[in-house]
Protein backbone atom coordinates (compact mmCIF):
# COMPACT_ATOMS: atom_id res chain seq x y z
CA UNK A 1 0.00 0.00 0.00
CA UNK A 2 2.85 2.34 0.88
CA UNK A 3 4.69 1.43 -2.34
CA UNK A 4 1.61 2.29 -4.41
CA UNK A 5 1.29 5.67 -2.72
CA UNK A 6 4.95 6.50 -3.38
CA UNK A 7 4.53 5.58 -7.02
CA UNK A 8 1.52 7.84 -7.32
CA UNK A 9 3.44 10.72 -5.71
CA UNK A 10 6.39 10.17 -8.03
CA UNK A 11 4.13 10.12 -11.07
CA UNK A 12 2.53 13.36 -9.98
CA UNK A 13 5.93 15.03 -9.54
CA UNK A 14 7.08 13.90 -12.97
CA UNK A 15 3.90 15.21 -14.58
CA UNK A 16 4.49 18.54 -12.89
CA UNK A 17 8.11 19.03 -13.97
CA UNK A 18 8.10 17.50 -17.46
CA UNK A 19 6.28 20.45 -19.12
CA UNK A 20 8.93 22.81 -17.75
CA UNK A 21 11.72 20.71 -19.30
CA UNK A 22 9.79 20.53 -22.55
CA UNK A 23 9.35 24.33 -22.68
CA UNK A 24 13.00 24.90 -21.86
CA UNK A 25 14.00 22.59 -24.68
CA UNK A 26 11.60 24.30 -27.10
CA UNK A 27 12.93 27.73 -26.12
CA UNK A 28 16.44 26.58 -26.91
CA UNK A 29 15.33 25.74 -30.45
CA UNK A 30 13.40 28.98 -31.11
CA UNK A 31 14.89 31.04 -33.94
CA UNK A 32 13.90 34.69 -34.29
CA UNK A 33 14.50 36.44 -37.62
CA UNK A 34 14.27 40.23 -37.66
CA UNK A 35 13.22 41.67 -41.00
CA UNK A 36 13.58 45.39 -41.62
CA UNK A 37 10.36 46.94 -42.91
CA UNK A 38 10.71 48.73 -46.25
CA UNK A 39 10.62 52.50 -46.12
CA UNK A 40 7.38 54.00 -47.44
CA UNK A 41 5.64 57.34 -47.16
CA UNK A 42 2.12 56.16 -47.91
CA UNK A 43 -0.05 53.07 -47.71
CA UNK A 44 0.65 50.68 -50.55
CA UNK A 45 -1.44 47.83 -51.92
CA UNK A 46 0.35 44.45 -52.14
CA UNK A 47 0.49 43.16 -55.74
CA UNK A 48 -1.59 40.12 -54.80
CA UNK A 49 -4.60 42.31 -53.94
CA UNK A 50 -6.51 43.75 -56.94
CA UNK A 51 -7.04 47.50 -57.05
CA UNK A 52 -10.81 48.30 -57.17
CA UNK A 53 -10.10 51.60 -58.93
CA UNK A 54 -8.91 49.64 -61.96
CA UNK A 55 -12.61 49.18 -62.84
CA UNK A 56 -13.58 52.81 -62.29
CA UNK A 57 -14.91 54.80 -65.24
CA UNK A 58 -11.97 56.86 -66.44
CA UNK A 59 -12.21 60.65 -66.30
CA UNK A 60 -10.62 63.00 -68.86
CA UNK A 61 -6.99 63.84 -68.13
CA UNK A 62 -7.59 67.56 -68.61
CA UNK A 63 -8.32 69.94 -65.75
CA UNK A 64 -11.70 69.91 -64.03
CA UNK A 65 -12.60 73.57 -64.59
CA UNK A 66 -15.73 73.38 -62.41
CA UNK A 67 -13.98 72.71 -59.10
CA UNK A 68 -14.32 75.57 -56.65
CA UNK A 69 -16.32 77.76 -59.05
CA UNK A 70 -19.61 79.48 -58.06
CA UNK A 71 -22.54 77.10 -58.27
CA UNK A 72 -26.29 77.59 -57.85
CA UNK A 73 -28.74 74.75 -57.41
CA UNK A 74 -32.33 73.88 -56.63
CA UNK A 75 -33.52 73.69 -53.04
CA UNK A 76 -31.52 71.16 -51.05
CA UNK A 77 -32.54 68.64 -48.45
CA UNK A 78 -31.23 68.85 -44.89
CA UNK A 79 -27.45 69.60 -44.79
CA UNK A 80 -26.72 68.48 -48.38
CA UNK A 81 -26.07 71.97 -49.73
CA UNK A 82 -25.03 73.09 -53.22
CA UNK A 83 -21.50 74.02 -52.13
CA UNK A 84 -20.84 70.28 -51.80
CA UNK A 85 -21.21 69.93 -55.57
CA UNK A 86 -17.69 71.03 -56.46
CA UNK A 87 -15.66 71.09 -53.25
CA UNK A 88 -13.33 68.37 -54.54
CA UNK A 89 -14.64 65.71 -52.14
CA UNK A 90 -16.89 62.73 -52.85
CA UNK A 91 -17.59 62.31 -49.14
CA UNK A 92 -19.92 65.33 -49.26
CA UNK A 93 -22.85 65.62 -51.63
CA UNK A 94 -25.80 67.71 -52.76
CA UNK A 95 -29.29 66.28 -52.47
CA UNK A 96 -32.15 68.15 -54.07
CA UNK A 97 -35.56 68.50 -52.56
CA UNK A 98 -37.70 67.05 -55.33
CA UNK A 99 -37.57 67.12 -59.13
CA UNK A 100 -36.66 68.56 -61.50
CA UNK A 101 -33.32 69.22 -59.84
CA UNK A 102 -31.15 71.88 -61.42
CA UNK A 103 -27.57 73.06 -60.89
CA UNK A 104 -25.61 75.74 -62.76
CA UNK A 105 -21.85 76.25 -62.57
CA UNK A 106 -20.30 79.62 -63.44
CA UNK A 107 -16.93 78.76 -65.01
CA UNK A 108 -15.78 82.38 -64.58
CA UNK A 109 -14.57 82.59 -68.14
CA UNK A 110 -15.34 81.07 -71.52
CA UNK A 111 -13.87 77.63 -72.19
CA UNK A 112 -14.23 75.02 -74.90
CA UNK A 113 -15.91 72.16 -73.07
CA UNK A 114 -16.47 68.62 -74.28
CA UNK A 115 -17.28 66.43 -71.26
CA UNK A 116 -19.05 66.41 -67.93
CA UNK A 117 -18.73 63.89 -65.14
CA UNK A 118 -20.89 63.26 -62.10
CA UNK A 119 -19.55 61.48 -59.05
CA UNK A 120 -20.98 59.91 -55.94
CA UNK A 121 -19.16 58.41 -52.98
CA UNK A 122 -17.42 55.26 -54.36
CA UNK A 123 -17.99 53.31 -51.13
CA UNK A 124 -19.87 50.04 -51.72
CA UNK A 125 -22.47 51.02 -49.10
CA UNK A 126 -23.97 53.23 -51.84
CA UNK A 127 -26.34 50.95 -53.70
CA UNK A 128 -26.56 51.25 -57.51
CA UNK A 129 -28.94 53.93 -58.77
CA UNK A 130 -30.01 55.42 -62.09
CA UNK A 131 -30.49 59.16 -62.57
CA UNK A 132 -31.83 60.90 -65.66
CA UNK A 133 -29.45 63.74 -66.58
CA UNK A 134 -29.40 66.47 -69.24
CA UNK A 135 -26.51 68.90 -69.84
CA UNK A 136 -26.86 72.44 -71.22
CA UNK A 137 -24.31 75.21 -71.84
CA UNK A 138 -24.37 78.98 -72.18
CA UNK A 139 -21.94 81.75 -73.10
CA UNK A 140 -23.89 84.50 -71.30
CA UNK A 141 -25.46 82.71 -68.32
CA UNK A 142 -28.98 83.40 -69.60
CA UNK A 143 -29.51 81.52 -72.87
CA UNK A 144 -28.77 77.80 -72.65
CA UNK A 145 -28.37 75.18 -75.38
CA UNK A 146 -28.71 71.46 -74.77
CA UNK A 147 -25.54 69.54 -75.61
CA UNK A 148 -26.58 66.21 -74.10
CA UNK A 149 -30.31 65.37 -73.97
CA UNK A 150 -31.91 63.78 -70.92
CA UNK A 151 -30.90 60.14 -70.61
CA UNK A 152 -30.69 57.52 -67.87
CA UNK A 153 -27.23 56.93 -66.39
CA UNK A 154 -26.32 54.27 -63.84
CA UNK A 155 -24.12 54.97 -60.82
CA UNK A 156 -22.49 51.83 -59.43
CA UNK A 157 -19.75 51.45 -56.81
CA UNK A 158 -18.20 48.73 -58.98
CA UNK A 159 -17.29 51.42 -61.53
CA UNK A 160 -16.49 54.11 -58.97
CA UNK A 161 -20.01 55.58 -58.80
CA UNK A 162 -19.07 57.72 -61.77
CA UNK A 163 -20.94 58.84 -64.84
CA UNK A 164 -19.14 60.45 -67.76
CA UNK A 165 -20.96 62.29 -70.53
CA UNK A 166 -19.01 63.30 -73.64
CA UNK A 167 -20.42 65.72 -76.21
CA UNK A 168 -19.29 67.82 -79.16
CA UNK A 169 -16.86 70.55 -78.08
CA UNK A 170 -18.59 73.90 -77.59
CA UNK A 171 -17.73 77.24 -75.98
CA UNK A 172 -19.29 77.77 -72.57
CA UNK A 173 -19.07 80.10 -69.62
CA UNK A 174 -21.88 78.39 -67.71
CA UNK A 175 -22.94 74.73 -67.53
CA UNK A 176 -26.40 73.75 -66.37
CA UNK A 177 -27.44 70.23 -65.40
CA UNK A 178 -31.04 69.08 -65.00
CA UNK A 179 -31.82 65.78 -63.24
CA UNK A 180 -35.38 64.51 -63.47
CA UNK A 181 -35.28 61.15 -61.67
CA UNK A 182 -33.31 59.01 -59.25
CA UNK A 183 -34.18 55.35 -58.68
CA UNK A 184 -32.60 55.40 -55.20
CA UNK A 185 -33.99 58.75 -54.07
CA UNK A 186 -34.50 58.76 -50.29
CA UNK A 187 -38.14 58.55 -49.30
CA UNK A 188 -37.90 61.81 -47.36
CA UNK A 189 -36.32 63.75 -50.22
CA UNK A 190 -37.24 62.18 -53.56
CA UNK A 191 -34.44 64.16 -55.16
CA UNK A 192 -31.20 64.03 -57.11
CA UNK A 193 -27.85 63.21 -55.53
CA UNK A 194 -24.46 64.42 -56.79
CA UNK A 195 -21.20 64.53 -54.82
CA UNK A 196 -19.13 66.23 -57.52
CA UNK A 197 -19.89 67.83 -60.87
CA UNK A 198 -16.81 67.99 -63.09
CA UNK A 199 -16.48 69.88 -66.38
CA UNK A 200 -13.64 69.21 -68.79
CA UNK A 201 -12.39 71.19 -71.76
CA UNK A 202 -10.03 70.60 -74.63
Smallest CA-to-CA distance from 165 within 122, 200, 120, 193 is with: 200
Identify the pLDDT of residue 14. 53
Q: What count of other Cβ atoms lies within 10 Å of the Cβ of residue 193? A: 24
CATH number at residue 58: 2.60.120.260
Identify the pLDDT of residue 54. 81
Three-class SS of residue 77?
coil
User: Is 63 part of any domain?
Assistant: yes
Domain housing 154: 52-201
Instruction: Please give the tally of structural domains in the chain.
Output: 1
What is the model's pTM? 0.76
Residue 124: φ, ψ to 5°:
-65, -15
For residues 10 and 18, is the Cβ–Cβ distance under 8 A?
no
Rounded average pLDDT per 10-residue block, the chain, 202 residues: 57 54 56 77 70 85 97 95 97 95 98 98 94 98 98 97 98 98 77 97 86
Amino acid sequence: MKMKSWMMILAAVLLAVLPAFACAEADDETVVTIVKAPEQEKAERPPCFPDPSANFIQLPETENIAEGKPVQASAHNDVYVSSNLNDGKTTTYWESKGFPAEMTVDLQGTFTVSAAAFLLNPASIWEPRTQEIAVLVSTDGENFTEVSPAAAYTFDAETGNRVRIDFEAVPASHVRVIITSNTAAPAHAKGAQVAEICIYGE
